A and B are shown apart, each in its own frame.
Chain A
Amino acid sequence: MDRTEPQDELYQKATREYGTVLARMAYAYEADPDLRRDLSQEMHLALWRSLGKFNGRCSLRTWIYRVAHNVATSHVVRQARSKQITPAFLTLEEAEPQAGHENAEISADRNQSLDHLFALIQRLDPLDRQVIMAYLEDLDAQSISEITGLSTENVWSKIHRIKNLLIRRFPRGGHHAL
């Protein structure tokens, strides 16, 4: 293609480096496969459009995460609005396993564990989803703070609670071979 604007180059770089991250995000925000495909496409289109305004005041990674999360958040709220319901999200405390409830374990069945993890994330508040996903993507607290707008202290507090939640939900996580 002859025309390669900075916006196009940035988009190509973004999809090359963060394509799988975007795919995971779409999966974690939307359980329905058809809607997920739409969401994923929406993320890509919004990303390409937004990159025309990218001014380098934050890193490209932060920009991509923000766009993807914000588009997904908008999708979640819009879905609830179209169904004329208020979104019913779980807080991190509510997501804690109850006594007698079965926990998902990281077992030989990786797909099952992943399904449990995605199902858990899909029920959380969008902001908690952003933190938990960024945490799983191994982003540092400062980056998560930049993406979410939460203070670093708040991010650390959430990470602490998320860690506890994940450890309780996936109790044998550190001991089973994957």
Chain B
Amino acid sequence: MPCDELPDNLQILWKEAGMNPSTLSLDQVRNETKRLQARRRRGQVVLGACMLLFAASYGFSYFLFPDTLARVGGALTVIVCGYWLFHSIMERAPAAPHPGETDGLSFYRAELEHTRDIHRWLSWRWLLLLGPFILFDVGVGQIYAKVWPLIVLFVCFDCALLLAVFAIWLPVKNFRLARKYQELIDALDAASGRGKVHREHQAPLA
């Protein structure tokens, strides 16, 4: 049954909106699809390379700084980076619901859940980096403290900054975002009256 009593002129206005349909030839579609896939792969490679470079520089510091704390801090940083890299590789292609086979409500819910899970994952993982960074800082400070006493102040400032960023700002921000997304999911469930019965359509949760 068609929807009756429509605000007629508004519907006409909508349908007559002078939109130029963006048409892509089949060759363009194929080429663009390949280009998009290549761009995604390139992005993953760049991300991985950055993480490896970061980890390598800390790995190199093992040989550069003859201090146990600095070495432990550097080694732990490499381990944490490896963990993050492993996670980003394993999670790079979550089984997103198929856009044609999934209705709008399930798809939207899955998107919100995926985003919530990213923020939830990040919320406390920042803390993993904090310990190694501080150990490394203190270790380096110990090496140069006799030569340049002012470095103690610099190390203290750096540790305070690391604490503020990795223990407070980033975790709180991600935790809040995760909670906000959960609220959106709850509101969606309440409005649709469907709840969690449609989880089978969704991507596996992190």
Residues in chain A within 8 A of chain B (CB atoms):
1, 8, 11-12, 15, 19-20, 22-24, 26-27, 37, 40-41, 44-46, 48-51, 53-54, 63, 66-67, 69-71, 73-74, 77, 80-81, 84-87, 106, 110, 113-114, 117, 126-127, 130, 135-142, 146-151, 154, 159, 163, 166-167, 170, 173-174, 176, 178
Do A40 and B26 have beta carbons less than 8 Å apart?
no
Residue on A nearest B35 in the bound complex, by CB: A45
Query: Least Cβ distance of B104 to chain A in Å?
Result: 4
CA distance A54 to B99 in the complex (A): 11
Residue on B nearest A148 in the bound complex, by CB: B104
Residues in chain B within 8 A of chain A (CB atoms):
1-3, 5-17, 19-24, 26-27, 29, 32-33, 36, 97-108, 111-112, 115, 118, 173, 177, 180-181, 184, 188, 191-194, 198
Do A149 and B194 have beta carbons less than 8 Å apart?
yes
**7 other A-B residue contacts (CB within 8 Å) besides A87-B184, A135-B3, A137-B15:** A24-B14, A40-B22, A44-B24, A53-B98, A136-B11, A138-B15, A166-B10
A-B contact pairs, 9 of them (CB 8 A): A15-B24, A27-B19, A66-B101, A117-B13, A140-B2, A140-B3, A147-B104, A163-B5, A167-B7
CA distance A177 to B181 in the complex (A): 44
Do A84 and B173 have beta carbons less than 8 Å apart?
yes
Residue on B nearest A4 in the bound complex, by CB: B26
Do A114 and B32 have beta carbons less than 8 Å apart?
no
CA distance A1 to B30 in the complex (A): 13
Q: Tell me the dominant secondary structure on chain A's binding face.
A: helix
Query: Least Cβ distance of A55 to chain B in Å?
Result: 8
Do A66 and B19 have beta carbons less than 8 Å apart?
no
Contact A77-B112, Cβ < 8 Å, known A70-B99, A178-B9: yes
Query: Least Cβ distance of B198 to chain A in Å?
Result: 7
* Residues on the B chain within 8 Å of A87, using CB: 184
* Residues on the A chain within 8 Å of B101, using CB: 53, 66
Do A148 and B105 have beta carbons less than 8 Å apart?
yes
Option from A37, A142, A149 in Cβ contact (under 8 Å) with B106: A149
Option from B21, B27, B97, B107 in Cβ contact (under 8 Å) with A19: B21
Do B22 and A138 have beta carbons less than 8 Å apart?
no
Do A54 and B22 have beta carbons less than 8 Å apart?
no
* Residues on the B chain within 8 Å of A48, using CB: 26, 29, 33
